[in-house]
Amino acid sequence: MAVMADPPAAEATVDETSFASFASPGGLTAVQADVGFTLPQGYRDASGTVHRDGRMRLATARDELAPLVDPRVVRNRAYLVVLLLARVVTRLGTVPEVTPEVIEGLYTTDFSYLQRLYRRLNLDPAEAPPTCPHCGESLPPEVGGLGGAPATPLT
* Tens-digit pLDDT profile for residues 44-90: 999 999 999 999 999 999 999 999 999 999 999 999 999 999 999 99
Residue 139: half-sphere exposure toward Cβ, Cα within 13 Å = 15
The answer to the question of residue 102 being in a domain is yes
Question: Are β-strands 13-14 and 50-57 bridged in parallel, bridged antiparallel, or unpaired?
Answer: unpaired
Q: What is the band of 24 on the pLDDT scale with cuts at 50, 70, 90?
A: very low
The answer to the question of residue 6 being in a domain is no
Whole-angstrom distance, CA of residue 82 vs CA of residue 126:
26
The answer to the question of residue 118 being in a domain is yes
Share of the chain above pLDDT 70, in %: 65
For 118, other C-beta atoms within 10 Å of its C-beta total 20
Length of the chain: 155
Count of structural domains, the chain:
1
The answer to the question of residue 137 being in a domain is no
52: buried, middle or exposed (CB in 10 Å: 19+, 13-18, 0-12)? Answer: buried
The answer to the question of residue 105 being in a domain is yes
How far apart, in Å, are the Cα atoms of 148 and each of 73, 77, 140?
Answer: 12, 9, 16
Whole-angstrom distance, CA of residue 51 vs CA of residue 103:
12
Q: What is the band of 137 on the pLDDT scale with cuts at 50, 70, 90?
A: confident
Give mean pLDDT, residues 27-40: 75
Task: Say which residue, 49 or 17, is predicted with more confidence.
Answer: 49
Whole-angstrom distance, CA of residue 117 vs CA of residue 40:
12
Task: Say which residue, 3 or 51, is predicted with more confidence.
Answer: 51
Whole-angstrom distance, CA of residue 99 vs CA of residue 64:
16
The answer to the question of residue 149 being in a domain is no
Question: Are β-strands 89-92 and 50-57 bridged in parallel, bridged antiparallel, or unpaired?
Answer: antiparallel
Task: Say which residue, 137 or 60, is predicted with more confidence.
Answer: 60
The answer to the question of residue 92 being in a domain is yes
Q: By residue range, what is the domain housing residue 40?
A: 13-124
Amino acid sitting at position 108: T
The answer to the question of residue 135 being in a domain is no
Q: What is the band of 135 on the pLDDT scale with cuts at 50, 70, 90?
A: confident
